[in-house]
Amino acid sequence: MRQARTCWPVLVKKAQDAVNDAQNEIAQAMARVDQLQASHERLCRLYDEYRLREQTAQVPVMGMQASMNQRQFMAQLLNLQQRVVLDLSRAKDHVAIVRKKRALAEIELHKMKSMEAQDAKAVALEQQRHEQKLMDELGVRQFNLSLQR
């Protein structure tokens, strides 16, 4: 009599591990997105503060060198902002890719669980048929014995 195949639980576990790995990767990617968004907001606030300082008369008149340094610093802040925006875009794209990867892994997990269930059902059906056959044979023997007496 046939036994349930031992490969299905292994394949289900492998598929579940792939789903778990993808989920962890999504969590890491989302954390990276959050980190980049926080960095972008900090850079924007810092740039706005320096721009406001430059525009207000609260700051005593700076020397030419100090003014140039401030403008150069502000330009560096803008460059950093652009790099962070680019990194943020890439990080969001990565999140989308990993979500697709997780969806595919979940589909594979569903398939493996379905195959495992089908195999278990087939084994149970075969066992039920075998038991019924044995019961039928026993019934025929008993009937034959009753006729011989």
Q: pLDDT truncated to tens, each residue of the chain (149 aa)?
A: 678 788 999 999 999 999 999 999 999 999 999 999 999 999 999 999 888 877 775 555 667 777 788 889 889 999 999 999 999 999 999 999 999 999 999 999 999 999 999 999 999 999 999 999 999 999 999 998 888 87
What's the predicted TM-score (pTM) here? 0.74
Give just the sign of the alpha carbon dihedral 36, 38, 39, 44: positive
Select from 29, 19, 51 the least CA-distant residue to 95: 29
**Both tokens of residue 126?**
């075969």
Run of H or E residues at 57: none
Distances (CA, A) of 122 to 4, 113, 117, 133, 136: 8, 14, 9, 16, 21
The length of the chain is 149
